[in-house]
């Protein structure tokens, strides 16, 4: 039997998403909840990366995960196995989450005693970048098989991200992917973005990324 619930989040009735996002962030600040918005293309490895991140941090932090999808609950089932709190959000066909949809998810999940709440956004490099979800930090995953030219093609996504995780570096030998060139393209779009090269499959590089996240959560809860 699944231990997680699935809820339908409704399209926001508010026309000022930025204001809703700002209010949500203020509320999370007061509750000492760090909200991470995790974005990527379909299949870049959001759920596997999240599983590895949970493994690295769940001894120290109380973690809650919102899995947003148009349909299915395969990701919530995967996250459930890590033992953290998880809820499946269905977006009714919507290709992204806005701040009010995120609020609906957080309230359905419950944020009492949660240090780190993660929103796994719908797999898409376009629309999710256009909506502030109220997250403290935006992180996107670019996987090696997608190619090193993606920062050129999806400028907004790379511009709004605080961190870019280059995932699946274990398969670098089998693809024409130039890691240095990719970092250059990312830097061109967003000079302040941090880049970590990881393999969620083998665990390579995950500790460095988890260290960054650990420090950010501590900072958010302290200030």
Residues at the contact surface with a copy of itself, assessed by CB under 8 A: 41-44, 69-72, 74, 93, 95, 122-127, 130, 143-147, 149-150, 152-156, 168, 170-171, 174-175
Nearer to a copy of itself, 92 or 110 (CB): 92
Minimum gap (Å) between residue 27 Cβ and a copy of itself: 29
Q: Enter the tokens of residue 97.
A: 């989450």
Rounded CA gap, 88 and 82, in Å?
Answer: 15
Sheet holding 194-197, edge to edge: 5-8, 85-90, 63-69, 116-120, 34-40, 137-143, 163-167, 194-197
Minimum gap (Å) between residue 71 Cβ and a copy of itself: 5
Nearer to a copy of itself, 18 or 126 (CB): 126
Place of tokens 């970048």: 129
The DSSP element (H or E) to which 51 belongs, if any, is helix 46-57
Minimum gap (Å) between residue 101 Cβ and a copy of itself: 15
How many angstroms separate the Cα of 154 from the Cα of each of 112, 127, 157, 186, 190? Answer: 36, 10, 6, 10, 12
How many angstroms separate the Cα of 53 from the Cα of each of 28, 38, 180, 188, 191? Answer: 21, 12, 24, 28, 25
Nearer to a copy of itself, 175 or 212 (CB): 175
The DSSP element (H or E) to which 186 belongs, if any, is helix 179-189
Nearer to a copy of itself, 22 or 155 (CB): 155
Minimum gap (Å) between residue 114 Cβ and a copy of itself: 25
Minimum gap (Å) between residue 215 Cβ and a copy of itself: 30
């Amino acid at each position: 039997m699944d231990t997680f619930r699935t809820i339908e989040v409704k399209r926001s009735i508010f026309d000022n998403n930025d204001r809703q996002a700002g209010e949500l962030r203020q509320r999370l600040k007061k509750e000492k909840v760090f909200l991470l918005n995790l974005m990527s293309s379909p299949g870049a490895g959001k759920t596997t990366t999240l599983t590895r991140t949970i493994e690295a941090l769940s001894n120290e932090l109380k973690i809650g995960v919102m899995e947003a999808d148009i349909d299915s609950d395969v990701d919530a089932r995967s996250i459930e196995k890590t033992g953290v709190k998880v809820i499946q959000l269905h977006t009714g066909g919507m290709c992204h989450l806005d701040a009010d949809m995120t609020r609906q998810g957080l309230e359905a999940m419950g944020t009492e005693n949660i240090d780190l709440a993660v929103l796994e956004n719908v797999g898409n490099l376009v629309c999710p970048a256009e909506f502030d979800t109220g997250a403290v930090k935006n992180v996107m995953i670019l996987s090696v098989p997608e190619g090193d030219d993606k920062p050129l093609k999806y400028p907004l996504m790379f511009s709004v991200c605080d961190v870019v995780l280059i995932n699946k570096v274990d398969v670098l030998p089998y693809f024409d992917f130039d890691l240095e060139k990719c970092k250059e393209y990312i830097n061109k779009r967003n000079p302040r973005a941090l880049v970590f090269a990881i393999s969620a499959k083998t665990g390579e590089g995950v500790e460095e990324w988890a260290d960054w996240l650990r420090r950010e959560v501590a900072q958010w809860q302290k200030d």
